[in-house]
Structure 1
Amino acid sequence: MKKVFKTLITVSFLFIAFVGYGIYWAFFDMNRLPTGEYLTEDTSPDGTYTLKAYVANGGATTSYSIRGELVFNERKSKTKNIYWNYEEDTASISWTDDDTVVINGHSLDVLDEKYDFRRE
């Protein structure tokens, strides 16, 4: 009886984890954002990073969104999305120091911060 109960709990936990990850992947993963059309870019003061901004047209039923993509200039690393905001169609980018960028009023440390309106 204990073995059946443990097996049932384990299977239930795995099912819940699988469904939870599927929801995250489908709706919140920043790697699955639409590409959008190139808008502008700005390079960090020391030249280490470039932030490229793209505008994504959601179609007739949703507003425009801005996607900010961080490019590592000195390394051949994969780019990463660090900014995603809804109901924006322009991007104002400025660097406050070598690792901190301000995008449309949102300040981000490019090493470990992201802004995603869906998580606010």
Structure 2
Amino acid sequence: MGSYTGVETEKKVVFTVLGIFLLCVLAFGIYAVYWAFYDMNRLPEGEFLTEESSPDGKYTLRAYVTNGGATTSYAVRGELVYNEKENKTKNIYWNYREEAAEISWTDKDTVVINGVSLDVPGEAFDFRHQ
């Protein structure tokens, strides 16, 4: 009976190690999909277009146009600048087939970029997920 318990213990160890390995592979796969398709920090920088500051001066929205080359159209990237936090930035707008940016603030926390209204700093618009 002693050897039977040893075999069961070995099976538990093997299945535990296999389960941990598969969990790590799954976690890596999920992160890879996020990194490749959802991470707005990987967007191309582009050429500066324009900027507008919020009415209270807390934020500035800077717009950039990116040229993907001969095979893709232009795109506009909107970058929110936290003026009170050492100019920390966050991408909040990414739209394809645009070459210009019209920016207006409707109040201290709401910005409209090319007709898309966003409550900052929490909301973002990414055409790839609409």
Q: Normalized against structure 1, the TM-score is what?
A: 0.94
Counterpart AA for 2:60? T
Structure of greater Rg: 2
The correspondence for 2:124, drawn from 102, 108, 114, is: 114
Q: Which runs of 4+ in 1 moved over 2 A?
A: none
SS of the residue corresponding to residue 15 of structure 2 reads: helix
**Structure 1, unaligned runs of 5 or more:** none
Cα offset for 1:26?
2.6
Q: Normalized against structure 2, the TM-score is what?
A: 0.87
Measured on the aligned residues, the alpha-carbon RMSD in Å equals 1.1
Kindly indicate whether residue 90 of structure 2 is the aligned counterpart of residue 80 of structure 1. yes
**Structure 2, unaligned runs of 5 or more:** 1-10
Number of residue-to-residue matches in the alignment: 120
Counterpart AA for 2:96? Y
Bigger proportion of residues as helix? 2
Q: Which residue of 2 aligns with 1:45?
A: 55
Q: Which residue of 1 aligns with 2:114?
A: 104
Could you tell me the percent identity over the aligned residues?
65
Deviations 1:40-60, CA, capped at 9 Å, x for gaps? 111111111110000000111
Q: Which residue of 1 aligns with 2:79?
A: 69
